[in-house]
Structure 1
């Protein structure tokens, strides 16, 4: 019997790797879920444009549902929409791309249970596995661009880099998690084995906040 799952989707390497593994396990991912706070009109995870997530959805052939959450009611809004999606798609569970952060596992399990669903973490591993996981992602052939870095962890010149063997070698020389599990860097995936065709991107301006540098991406 094929299980029907939703997948929490940020647009980056972790959720893409989770989708790749779920497909290999013959799990039917019937929808992607992306939170987009009403206050910003962008994605919660990476502050990315919603139209870029829609481009990924089209190229992967999987519908995306945006949860228009509010910062002060984030979890409640997530659960409310998850219950509706459970009814619409007859879900068995929801998958998340978290790797080893206990607080993330606890939140995922709590939200899933509140919607009468199973929580699944296909990437779950120990911190020591992160370097091999990054190499595995690169070897699968997906193309991911670094779109955000923490100022206290990585320099500005990491922005716009592709995840490749050179990146893996450089990140290994830092004190960062190779997979950026602690938010050291974020990515946007624009091509790979499950894509019908690449997403054409143009690199835009660099935006600076108190804690991060972020690269704007535009559809060409």
Structure 2
């Protein structure tokens, strides 16, 4: 297997650690792959503006490939996109940032097999190791902010928090998985070892959605 791959990317800490780990292992990441609902200009994963994902790609020096799809066509469009990237760039694998949810891994492996590539899960671990995974992230040098929380687990005071030592301490006092593996919280990485530039975020606005609260940024740019 050659080492040309793509990484499934939603802009958060798990994808970033996946990217970092694989580059350390000698893989060549030719693209970050992100799904977007047709005509919404926001990501499926976290509901983030596509422009914020583009900025991450620019800061990292890795192009982003957006997959336009609907909820019903999500899997088929994902497979088609990976097949296209395999044909165009001769990739051999797609990497995911999942930690321990078997259903997520089964879907990812099914998609990879249908597209004719290998599924990589460099962060895969056991549920009880999630706290150690968060410790590893905090020590990694990457900087991320919490941009979304589930109302039934975390309140709005968690929005805008940096994922650092104090976050590591406090998340253990909640019912959340330390890594937010079930969507208890989502993050946005704006700086770190692989970033050539930092993403500056300004103008925070809290938005209440159906079952979650989200932090929007009115201004964002590379510095």
TM-score by length of 1: 0.97
* Matches of 2:30 and 2:138, distance apart in 1: 25
8 A Cα contact 1:160 1:203, kept in partner: no
- Runs of 4+ in structure 1 deviating by more than 2 angstroms, as ranges, are none
- Give the CA deviation at 1:41: 2.1
Superimposed CA distance per residue, residues 48-70 of structure 1 (whole angstroms, 9 cap, x where no aligned partner): 00001000001101111000111
Is residue 101 from structure 1 mapped to residue 101 from structure 2 by the alignment?
A: yes
Superposed displacement of residue 2, structure 1: 5.0
| Aligned-pair CA distance for 1:22 | 0.4
Deviates more, 1:185-194 or 1:76-85: 76-85
Q: CA deviation at 1:203?
A: 3.7
Q: Tell me, which stretches of 5 or more residues in structure 1 are unaligned? A: none
Does residue 120 of the first structure (1) align with residue 133 of the second (2)?
Answer: no
Determine the structure 2 residue equivalent to 1:71: 71
Q: Which residue of 1 aligns with 2:15?
A: 15
2:69 is paired with a residue whose SS is: coil
Which blocks of at least 5 consecutive residues in structure 2 are unaligned? none
Cα distance in 2 between the residues matched to 1:62 and 1:87: 18
Secondary structure, counterpart of 2:198 in structure 1: coil
Q: Post-superposition shift, 1:200?
A: 1.1
CA offsets 1:88-142 (integer angstroms, 9 cap, x no match): 1101110000000000000000000111000000110001111111111110110
- Aligned residue runs from structure 1 range 1-220, under 5 A: 3-217=3-217, 218-220=219-221
Q: Is the 8 A contact 1:6 1:33 kept in 2?
A: yes
- The question of whether the paired residues in 2 share the 8 Å contact of 1:33 and 1:64 is answered with yes
Q: Could you list the per-position Cα deviations for residues 157-189 of structure 1 after superposition, in whole angstroms to 9, with x for gaps in the alignment?
A: 000000000001000111110000000000000
Q: Secondary structure at the match of 1:72?
A: coil
Asked if the contact 1:57–1:63 (Cα under 8 Å) also holds between the matched residues in 2, the reply is yes
Counterpart Cα distance in 1 of 2:129 and 2:32: 26
Taking the aligned partners of 1:203 and 1:173, their CA distance within structure 2 comes to: 29
